[in-house]
Chains A and B, each alone.
Chain A
Amino acid sequence: MKIVLTVSSSSIDAEFDPRFGRCAYFLVMDTETMKWEAFQNPGINASGGAGTQAAQFIAQKKVAAVISGDFGPNASAALNAAGILMYRNKDSGSIQDIVKRFNAGELEKVDVPSASGSHH
């Protein structure tokens, strides 16, 4: 399945970036083949609506789920509407580690907005 992780640079060795709307890059990955592609976040400097912009952007990539640290209420609403599942990762580790945990069902699934207000 295709998933997205929020990361701070455009390589597979990138560090995980916990803030959904403000991450530097989105890493789209196929969890079976481990093939990946990184995209710059178009909304990183938006003063408002970064979360909704990010949600719309990754919705166009036709992913099934997104892994980040936190999702604000606007982003959550948008991702919910798009039918994209949200997962929280709170531990450190490489991208591969996080994907492994995701595949093993160890990541926390988000059903409600986890933080209030706009995120920076």
Chain B
Amino acid sequence: MRITVASGKGGTGKTTVATSLAISLALNNPALPPLFLDCDVEAPNAHLFLKPAFKDKKDVSILIPSIDESKCTGCGRCADVCEYHAIAVLNNKVLVFPQLCHGCGSCTLICPTKAIWEVPNVMGVLESGITPLDINFAHGIMNIGEPMAVPVIQQLKKWAAPQPGQVVIVDAPPGTSCPVVESARGADFLLLVTEPTPFGLHDLKLAAQVAKELGIPVGVIINREGIGNASVENFCETQGLPILMRIPYDLAIAKGTAQGQALPEIYPKYTLLFQQLFAEISRMVVHQ
């Protein structure tokens, strides 16, 4: 079972919810705690909550072109086919711009004199480890200045594969575009965390559409209930989006999460509440 926690709007509490869910599952099933993947590779935070002891590390790279000048005739075919303007031929000299390159390999294939070979360009790092509750944890950290999160997320998912029967909790980045889609791809369920404000509602609508595009069943968690109005709740009702949990705005929760505490550590009742949430999600997925 793979559950991705997403939101659309940033700051609604994805990481708080995802880590709380993982902790509850670990407490409920110490024989097989879940695998937690923090796919917010631009600004990963889950490790601040789950506190893994990092053991393994792996560079993330894509293959970029390198030119053998002795074979290059300056014909410019490589530049012609590059959709990203990452390779330019000027004065018979070939220039490669690594941060524009998507690693597609097209230039390498097209070169009529086989003057291009590929070398790895490191764009980030993957780390994995085990948390105090034995949760298998992995995240990716994209290098500053790199534009593309998707390859890092793709490699993270491949590298940190679950054991048979292990539940996977994925913490997605904010937004609704390609990094979120990549994080959600392959999920059995999409848990959308929102806040009861106009911004929360606006972005929840977009996130719900992403779920629809991907054909993944959806449930909503309203976080910081009480700070805004009922428009999110009304929207969920009219759209038939099940509201699976409401977390009230609470200064103790605000202070606790600020310090990296997940909900069960602030109020122990959340251990059971998240286990019940998981049971409900499992029921919904089976009935699909």
Contacts and interface: CB of A to CB of B under 8 A. Distances in A.
Physical interaction between A and B? yes
Interface of A: 43, 46, 48-50, 52-53, 55-56, 59, 74, 77-79, 81-83, 117
Nearest to B145: A117
A40 B266 CA distance: 60
Interface residues of B, number: 15
B159 interface: no
B78 to A, nearest CB: 12
B54 interface: no
B86 A49 contact: yes
Contacts of B99: 48
Interface of B: 79, 84-86, 88-91, 93, 95, 97, 99-100, 145, 147
B137 to A, nearest CB: 32
A79 to B, nearest CB: 8
A53 B84 CA distance: 10
Nearest to A77: B95
Contacts of B100: 48-49, 52, 74
B85 A53 contact: yes
Contact of A82 (B79, B85, B90): B90
Contact of A55 (B86, B88, B147): B88
Nearest to B97: A74
Contacts of A74: 97, 100
